[in-house]
Amino acid sequence: MTIGQGDSEQVGFQVSPIEFRLDPASGVPTYLQLVHQVEHALRLGYLKPGDQLPKVRDVVASLAINPNTVSKAYRELETKGLIVGRPGQGTFILATLSQVALPELTGLRRSLRGWLAKADTAGLDESGIAALVASELRDFYERLGGSSTRSGAAEDETEGVA
């Protein structure tokens, strides 16, 4: 997923702040890759209510995929209450999933980059890092009793994360 702002002088033309990318080797259905990219952008604050998603025809042209695949992804997001289609205008973000303010995200990203560098130095590849993070995330929430709250975490649960 590429996030970025485009500039346009044309009246009535809005460039979407998201550009979809596909990973054919992921094993994840194409429409779900699109859904996940929008959800991730919402969680990280890259997309916010009022932002326009790319038009179906633009996604089809840039990714060379079936229009029904894009429509299916957009329907899924609409069912979740995250987007709304406006006939003749496009598809717009309706709600956000952002849980952390942008200044906090900056510090968290910096810490994560440091940890990723340590993991790389230790010899973990991308798949190894993903497996380790998934395992620790699962264990973390199991220790919290399946809750997604921030309270109740013991100090040793963050040991080694810089």
* 45 and 112, same domain (yes or no): no
* 135 and 79, same domain (yes or no): no
What is the pLDDT at residue 5? Answer: 39
* 24 and 71, same domain (yes or no): yes
* Global pTM value: 0.62
Lowest mean pLDDT: which of 16-30, 43-57, 61-75, 145-159?
145-159
Q: Return mean pLDDT, the chain.
A: 82
Domain-terminating residue out of 46, 73, 93: 93
Which ranges constitute the DSSP H helices of the chain?
A: 30-43, 56-63, 67-79, 102-121, 126-143
pLDDT above 60 for 13: no
Cβ proximity of 26 and 33 under 8 Å: yes
Number of structural domains in the chain: 2
Phi, psi of 84 (to 5 degrees): -140, 135
What is the pLDDT at residue 4? Answer: 44
Residues 60-116 pLDDT 10s: 999 999 999 999 999 999 999 999 999 999 999 999 886 666 677 788 889 999 999
Tokens 């987007």 identify what position?
83
* 7 and 65, same domain (yes or no): yes
pLDDT above 70 for 153: no
More confident residue, 89 or 12: 89
Cβ proximity of 14 and 54 under 8 Å: no
* 10 and 79, same domain (yes or no): yes
Parent domain of 154: 102-158
* 86 and 12, same domain (yes or no): yes
* 77 and 120, same domain (yes or no): no
What is the pLDDT at residue 45? Answer: 83
The strand pairing partners of 52, in sequence order, are 92
